[in-house]
Copies of this chain bind each other. A is one copy, B any other.
Amino acid sequence: MTSPATRRQGSTTQPVPQRLLAAATRLFADRGYDRTSVQEIVEAAGVTKGALYHYFGSKDDLLHEIYGRVLRLQQERLDAFAEADAPVEQRLRDAAADVVVTTIENLDDASIFFRSMHQLSEEKQKQVRAERRRYHERFRALIEEGQKAGVFSTATPADLVVDYHFGSVHHLSTWYRPGGRLTPQQVADHLADLLLRALRP
């Protein structure tokens, strides 16, 4: 009935690889990659080292998986918004707000993402940077489209605008606390609004 990796005690728990990934995410976000021992991860996931090294090649691999998950999710969502059938202003606003909401909903991923690049092997870093660049370029294309159409100011180069906005997204994990004064959606609306206001011709 249950898949081979999905049995442990009575209740229906997640399969082991997912449990490991979830435990690692929580711990990496909480105390940082280097401060988290493999032993702590496997204990939090309720397994042992044997299980971890059965599914992952190294501690580093675990981190890489987390990066992959974030990048895939965000790229997918951006693509959807960018391809929508609406005026550029609307598409940009939606995309800008969505990345804020998604980031807040996965704050652990976000704090790992921006703090732990260096702990990845050089090769994996290169891969992550390449995917990140694709994302960045897609976003920039939206801004350039609006600039060419004359609905956005051309006072600032588009890639600087992208960095400006993603700086604030990046920063969310530093100050946003769940249950704060503003809901994720409200924060997203405000930040998207600031972006669009800055781009008014």
Residues of A near any B CB (own CB < 8 A): 31-32, 34-35, 114-115, 118-119, 153, 155-157, 160-161, 163-164, 166-172, 174-175, 182, 187, 190-191, 193-195, 197-200
Contacts and interface: CB of A to CB of B under 8 A. Distances in A.
Contacts of A34: 32, 34-35
A94 to B, nearest CB: 18
Nearest 9 interchain pairs by C-beta: A167-B171, A167-B168, A34-B34, A167-B167, A198-B198, A194-B198, A197-B198, A164-B168, A32-B118
Nearest to A118: B32
Contact of A194 (B161, B190, B191, B193): B161
A193 B155 contact: yes
A160 B187 contact: yes
A118 B35 contact: yes
Given A32-B118, A167-B171, A197-B198, 4 more contacts: A114-B114, A164-B194, A167-B170, A197-B197
Nearest to A162: B175
Contacts of A195: 198
Contacts of A156: 190, 193-194
